[in-house]
Structures are given as C-alpha cells and as structure tokens.
Chains A and B, each alone.
Chain A
Amino acid sequence: MQHVNEDAVPSFPSHWSQLLPSAGAAGLLLLTAVWGCEASAWAQTASATASAFAEGFVPVPGGQPNTENVDASQLVIAAYGAFALGFIGYLFHLARMQTQLAQEVRNLAARIDAGGDKD
C-alpha cells in the first residue's frame, strides 16, 4: 500500500502559481533560443563567406566541384550500425532491468509471505 501524506501535496491552484516563475524562466529561455537561431542562421552565411577567404588557405576556384572523396558506404554502414546498436542496446537494457526487478519482486514477496506466515 502506498502512503501519501495529503498535507504534503499542494492544492492545484497554489501549486500552479508556484510554477509561474519557472514558466517565466522557460519563456525567457525560449526567447533567447529564438534569438540564438536568428543569430546562428546569420552567422552561418557570414562565416561561410569569410572562411572561404581565410589567409593561408587556397580556396577552390569558383564553379569547380569539391574534389574530396569520402567513401559513402562506410558512412551508411556506420549510420545503420548506430541504428542497430541503439535498438539492440536499449532492448538489452530493458530486458536486464526487467529481469532484475522481477527477481526483486519475487524475493520481496517471498520474504513478506514468509514473515506473514510466522505471525
């Protein structure tokens, strides 16, 4: 049985009024994020132009394609490997957690049953 101290749980309206400062802070954070995105979008175009003329580097002449050759198959294998690892890893984590918890439920229940029998 779960014991809940009713006095410890704030009433619905007072609880929400307590959350107002947090909501204000969240709103401020969001506004900052919007401003940050605007700045990021601007900086992205600005830095792309600037880096193309960085001193000490030779820029690729205009109109010519980038000659760097990256093996796409390795990238695709790595990406699908990450998907597979994510699924398998999480399933393993869930299975391990559930086995441990189920075992704990059985052990505790057995202890309680044994304790109850003694009474």
Chain B
Amino acid sequence: MTSSSESAQLELFDRAKALSFPNGLIALSTVAVTMLFIGAWMVFFYAPEEKVMGYVQKIFYFHVPAAWAMLLSAPLLAIGAIAFLATRKDVYDRLADAGVELAILFGFMVIISGPLWGRKAWGVFWVWDVRLTSTMVMVLTLVACKIVRGYAGPEAKTISAGLSILALLNAIFVWFAVDIWSGTHPPKLVQKLEPRMKLTLWFCVGAFTMAYLALLWARLRSGRLRTAVERLHMKATEAGLDD
C-alpha cells in the first residue's frame, strides 16, 4: 500500500465519521423536544397564575431557563477559547464557536421575552437596569465574536477567542448583578416559589438543558463537517484538482 493510498484511507475514515448522524443525538433531541412540550403544558395548565402580575408571569418559566442556557454557554466558550489560545487546535475553536452561537440564540430569547414581560409588569418594554444592560452587552459581545470570525481574516479565531473570554467576565457580572445592585429586575426568588411553580420552573430548566445539549452536539457535528470540507479542499489542492 502506497503512502497516498494510506492517506486516502484516513480521509475515508474521517469522512465516514463526519457524515454519520449519531443515534445518541437523535435520542437526546427526542427527549429535549418531548420535555419542552411537557414543560409548555405545565406552564399553562399546571402552574397556578401569579397573584400580583397575573397571566404575564407565565413568561418567567421559559425566560429563566433561556437565561440559564445562555449562562451555561459562558464557561464552555471560555474553556474553548482559552484552550484554543494555548494550543491552537481547531477542536477547541469549534467548541468556542458552538458556545458563542448557542449563547447568542438563548441570549436573544432572553432579551426578547424579558421586555414582553416587563411591558406588563413595569409598564415599559425596557429599563436601563443593571442586569438588563449587562445581558444586552453580553449578547452584543457574542454577536461581535461571530462578526469578527467572519470578517477579521487570518487572526479572526484569535480575536474571537479574546472576545469570548470577555463574554465570560460579562456572564459572571450578569449572574451577580441582581445581588450587588437592587434594580428593577426581580432578585433570585426560586427558593421562595410555590411548590407547583417551583416544579414547573425546574422541569423547564431541565428541558432547556436537554435542548442545549442536543443543539450543542448538532452544532459540533457541523463544525466537524466544516473541518472535513477544509481538509478535503487541501487534499484536492495537493492533487491539483482545486482551482
């Protein structure tokens, strides 16, 4: 067997791995979707209506888990970014990129659903409260990560990694903001919730965590496919097949 055919064998192995759709991902996605539907049912038919805020408080049960999922991304993307800066391995960059993308997704859910709740609870869509402002800054930093990745040229991954670390610092800030500054945003009140409200919230947190893991897995698979494409392009160039 020649050296080039050995290389071809390796590519075939990578290709097959990249193209396969894991059964575990299908199972996890099914669990996540089922849990999200059950969670939605619990929000509207199991959890009691809140006395002061009324029906609009139902937003709370998906708003908080979305914020949880957004903050869950922060350590992940920071680990990916730090590991990438230290080792320059693509696998860590892919992890950071997936974390950034998911944090943006859940971050937008938070900053869309929050103001809708605020419209009824506070009378306005937005107030320049510390937690709201810091959350918006975090989401914008993450959007900047994605923009940099697309347009900053050869150093894009490094700059994006630096911004990701800044996003982690911001996430810590978002978490502690309500403890340090008592603004308009409600404080952490999970422990004080009525039992049915608490169960609904924790179930929804579980559902969002499952959804987060499934989406992360799927996003990492996309990253692996992209790497496979890049490697095949290099191979095609070597063989004189690419323009």
Task: Decide whether A and B assemble into one complex.
Answer: yes
Binding site for B on A (CB under 8 A): 1-4, 9, 12, 15-16, 19, 22, 26, 29-30, 33-34, 36-38, 40-41, 43-44, 66, 68, 70, 72-73, 75-76, 78-80, 82-83, 86-87, 90-91, 94, 97-98, 101-102, 104-106, 108-109, 111-113, 115-116, 119
List residues of chain B with CB within 8 A of the CB of A44. 127-129, 183-184
User: Shortest Cβ distance from A46 into chain B, in angstroms?
Assistant: 12
Which residues in B have their C-beta under 8 angstroms from that of A87? 36, 211
Please state if B225 and A98 are interface contacts (CB–CB under 8 Å).
Answer: yes
Q: Which of A43, A105, A115 is the one whose CB lies under 8 Å from B19?
A: A105
Residue among A3, A36, A79 with max Cβ neighbours from chain B (10 Å): A79
In the complex, the answer to whether A33 meets B59 with C-beta atoms within 8 Å is no
A112 touches which of B54, B86, B232 (Cβ 8 Å): B232
Q: Is the CB of A104 within 8 A of B229?
A: yes
Name the residue of chain B whose CB is nearest to the CB of A30.
Answer: B169
CA distance A16 to B165 in the complex (A): 14
7 of the cross-chain contacts (CB-CB < 8 Å) are: A1-B231, A34-B173, A44-B184, A104-B229, A105-B15, A105-B228, A108-B235
List 6 other contacts, CB 8 Å, given A34-B173, A112-B8.
A2-B231, A26-B169, A40-B129, A94-B218, A105-B225, A111-B241
Determine the chain A residues whose CB is within 8 A of the CB of B137 once the complex forms.
33
B contact face: mostly helix, strand, loop, or mixed: helix
Count how many chain B residues have C-beta atoms less than 8 Å from C-beta atoms of the other chain. Answer: 72
What separation, in Å, do the CA atoms of A113 and B5 have in the docked complex? 10
Q: Is B105's beta carbon under 8 Å from chain A?
A: yes
Q: Is the CB of B120 within 8 A of A15?
A: no
Residues of the A chain whose Cβ atoms lie less than 8 Å from the Cβ of B58? 76
A73 CB contacts on chain B under 8 angstroms: 55
Question: By the criterion CB–CB under 8 Å, are A82 and B4 in contact?
Answer: no
Give CA–CA (A43, B85) in the complex, Å. 39
Smallest CB-CB separation from A47: which chain B residue?
B128
A115 to B239, CA, bound (A): 8
A-side contacts of B63, CB under 8 Å: 79
B128–A98 CB distance below 8 A: no
Given contacts A44-B184, A83-B62, is CB(A102)–CB(B19) below 8 Å? yes
Please report which residues of chain B, range 160-178, place their CB below 8 angstroms from some CB of chain A when the two chains form the complex.
Answer: 162, 165-166, 169-170, 173, 177
Is B7 an interface residue when CB atoms closer than 8 A count as contact? Answer: yes
Q: Does B112 touch A at the CB level, under 8 Å?
A: yes
- A50–chain B nearest beta-carbon distance, Å: 14
Chain B: which residue is nearest A108 at the CB level? B232
Rounded to whole Å, the gap between the CB of A119 and the closest CB of chain B is 8
In the complex, what residues of A have CB within 8 A of residue B66's CB?
Answer: 83
CB of B240 to closest CB in A, whole Å: 8
Tell me which residues from 214 to 241 in chain B have a Cβ below 8 Å from any Cβ of chain A. 215, 218-219, 221-222, 225-226, 228-236, 239-241
Residues of chain A lying within 8 A (CB to CB) of residue B235: 1, 108, 112
